């Protein structure tokens, strides 16, 4: 274990890679090695190591995460008893084994730190199922007893509430190490079990009554954690298209370099085109564009000519008045009329798409005049 710790520490010191903490939407998985400091034998020893916990964390935001823990704990202890008080003579042995399978669900709150270091606090509810087994030879479990043999088994269930504090240290955009200290309350139910004892050749079978135990603060456990971003290492500062907006919030990926973009990563002209589309009007129940729309359409054409690699999706929509099929046909014809107008102004048809959706995608209620007016529309979506 000493070598493992030294290796991890050396790796942290040697790696010089720009690192960032996770952000909204990131899924992080980790293995937590739990150290039982109460078993003696030194802090970093295999004797002190409990079985690892597998943890998944989903970041709702850069400073708030949900977590789920899966763990298996298997412990065993042996007590020896001697025939004589001075530790001589025959020996007896008592072995206690416990297996526990657990699930933990919780939340954690992260704090400032810096781009690499992320301290946090949190809490979780923990559930467990397991079993206890004892084996005795020349022992009654508390002292030496010659010619005695026994064993017992019973099932257990556990519920606990845990508070914890810890920190992550990000070595690069995908990998981190960390530590955590747990403090919890737990309540355990020991189900009714069976016991069999043989003394001087006579075997007796008994029923172990159900019991309950609980405790606060008995689960103070330091841990070492190793983890990585599960979803491709996407990080809060990764900016693939170089527009200054991180990928995790960029709604317009692959924006050409040099374009001025909004806080969502979309070129400002995307929003300009979206706004201009609100000024397109048609004759009643017709695909003929009204002249008052020409000024806005001319501006869209100018934008397309200045950005020949841009693609434009033109979508026609109607309200729910009239026949469904007729509305669908009308929406398609209106979208096509807009495409034809832009084409005549010089826009490349290969970068234009016209679609009709009829009344299937309302943006407001069709139960009133105002809502129906909003639903009768053409939308234009510019992309790169």
CA 118-119-121 angle, 5° bins: 135
Say yes or no: do domains 2-229 and 247-383 share a fold: no
Q: Which two tokens stand for residue 35?
A: 């150290």
Task: Return d(Cα 217, Cα 162) in angstroms, integer.
Answer: 9
**Residue of 272, 71, 54 lying closest to 160 (CA atoms):** 71
pTM: 0.50
Task: Return d(Cα 96, Cα 101) in angstroms, integer.
Answer: 17
Check pLDDT > 50 for residue 233. Answer: no
Question: Residue 36: what pLDDT?
Answer: 58
Which CATH superfamily, name and number, covers 247-383? OmpA-like domain (3.30.1330.60)
Q: Which two tokens stand for residue 210?
A: 């159900």
> Are 325 and 365 within 8 A, CB to CB?
no
> Between residues 9 and 174, which one has the greater pLDDT?
174
CA 305-302-338 angle, 5° bins: 95
Percentage, residues of the chain above pLDDT 90: 43
| Distance from chain centroid for Cα 109 | 14
> Are 136 and 148 within 8 A, CB to CB?
yes
Check pLDDT > 80 for residue 20. Answer: no
Percentage, residues of the chain above pLDDT 70: 85
Decide: helix, strand or coil at residue 200: coil
Question: Residue 242: what pLDDT?
Answer: 77
Banded pLDDT at 41 (limits 50, 70, 90): very low
Task: Return d(Cα 160, Cα 17) in angstroms, integer.
Answer: 39
Burial class (CB in 10 A: 0-12, 13-18, 19+), 73: middle
Task: Return d(Cα 260, Cα 328) in angstroms, integer.
Answer: 37
Question: Residue 3: what pLDDT?
Answer: 52
219 to 67, 102, 135, 183: CA distances (angstroms): 19, 14, 26, 5
- Mean pLDDT, residues 159-183 taken together: 88
> Between residues 313 and 182, which one has the greater pLDDT?
313
**Residue of 23, 8, 61 lying closest to 171 (CA atoms):** 8
Check pLDDT > 50 for residue 174. Answer: yes
Check pLDDT > 80 for residue 311. Answer: yes
Banded pLDDT at 42 (limits 50, 70, 90): very low
Question: Residue 140: what pLDDT?
Answer: 82
Check pLDDT > 60 for residue 381. Answer: yes
Question: Residue 313: what pLDDT?
Answer: 95
- Integer-rounded Cα radius of gyration of the chain: 34
Check pLDDT > 80 for residue 10. Answer: no
Question: Residue 50: what pLDDT?
Answer: 56
Task: Return d(Cα 99, Cα 369) in angstroms, integer.
Answer: 68
- Mean pLDDT, residues 37-63 taken together: 64
Interhelix angle 324-344/294-306, rounded to 10 degrees, is: 60
DSSP state, residue 290: P
> Are 290 and 281 within 8 A, CB to CB?
yes
Which pLDDT tens digit goes with each residue over 250-305?
Answer: 777 777 777 777 777 787 888 899 999 999 999 989 999 999 999 999 999 999 99
Give the residue extent of every domain in the chain.
2-229, 247-383
Q: What pairs with residue 119 in β-bridges?
A: 167
> Are 160 and 125 within 8 A, CB to CB?
yes
CATH of region 2-229, choose from 2.40.160, 2.60.40, 3.20.20, 3.30.70: 2.40.160
Check pLDDT > 50 for residue 343. Answer: yes
Q: Longest C-alpha distance within the chain, in Å?
A: 111
**Residue of 133, 365, 321, 213 lying closest to 330 (CA atoms):** 321
């Amino acid at each position: 274990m000493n070598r493992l710790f030294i290796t991890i520490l050396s790796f942290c010191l040697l790696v010089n890679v720009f690192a960032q903490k996770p952000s909204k939407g990131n899924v992080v998985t980790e293995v937590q090695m739990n150290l039982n400091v109460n078993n003696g034998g030194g802090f970093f020893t295999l004797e002190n190591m409990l079985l690892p916990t597998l943890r998944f964390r989903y970041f709702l935001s850069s400073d708030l995460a949900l977590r789920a823990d899966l763990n298996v704990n298997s412990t065993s202890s042996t007590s020896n008893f001697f025939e004589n008080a001075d530790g001589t003579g025959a020996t007896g042995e008592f072995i206690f084994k416990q297996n526990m399978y657990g699930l933990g669900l919780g939340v954690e709150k992260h704090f400032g730190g810096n781009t690499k270091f992320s301290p946090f606090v949190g809490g979780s509810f923990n559930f467990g199922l397991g079993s206890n087994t004892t084996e005795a030879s020349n022992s009654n479990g508390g002292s030496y007893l010659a010619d005695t043999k026994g064993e017992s088994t019973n099932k257990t269930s556990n519920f606990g509430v845990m508070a914890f504090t810890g920190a992550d240290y990000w070595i690069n955009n995908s990998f981190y190490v960390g530590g955590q200290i747990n403090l919890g309350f737990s309540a355990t139910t020991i189900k009714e079990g069976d016991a069999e004892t043989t003394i001087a050749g006579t075997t007796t079978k008994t029923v172990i009554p159900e019991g309950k135990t609980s405790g606060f603060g008995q689960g103070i456990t330091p841990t070492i954690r190793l983890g990585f971003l599960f979803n491709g290492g996407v990080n809060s500062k990764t900016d693939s298209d170089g527009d200054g907006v991180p990928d995790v919030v960029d709604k317009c990926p692959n924006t050409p370099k040099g374009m001025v973009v909004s806080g969502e990563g979309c070129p400002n002209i995307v929003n300009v085109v979206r706004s201009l589309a609100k000024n397109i009007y048609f004759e009643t129940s017709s695909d003929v564009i009204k002249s008052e729309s020409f000024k806005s359409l001319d501006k869209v054409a100018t934008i397309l000519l200045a950005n020949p690699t841009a693609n434009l999706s033109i979508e026609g929509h109607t309200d729910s008045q009239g026949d469904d099929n007729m509305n669908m046909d009308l929406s398609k014809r209106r979208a096509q009329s807009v495409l034809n107008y832009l084409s005549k102004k010089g826009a490349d048809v290969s970068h234009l798409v016209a679609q009709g959706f009829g009344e299937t995608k309302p943006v407001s209620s069709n139960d009133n005049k105002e809502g129906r007016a909003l639903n009768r529309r053409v939308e234009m979506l510019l992309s790169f």
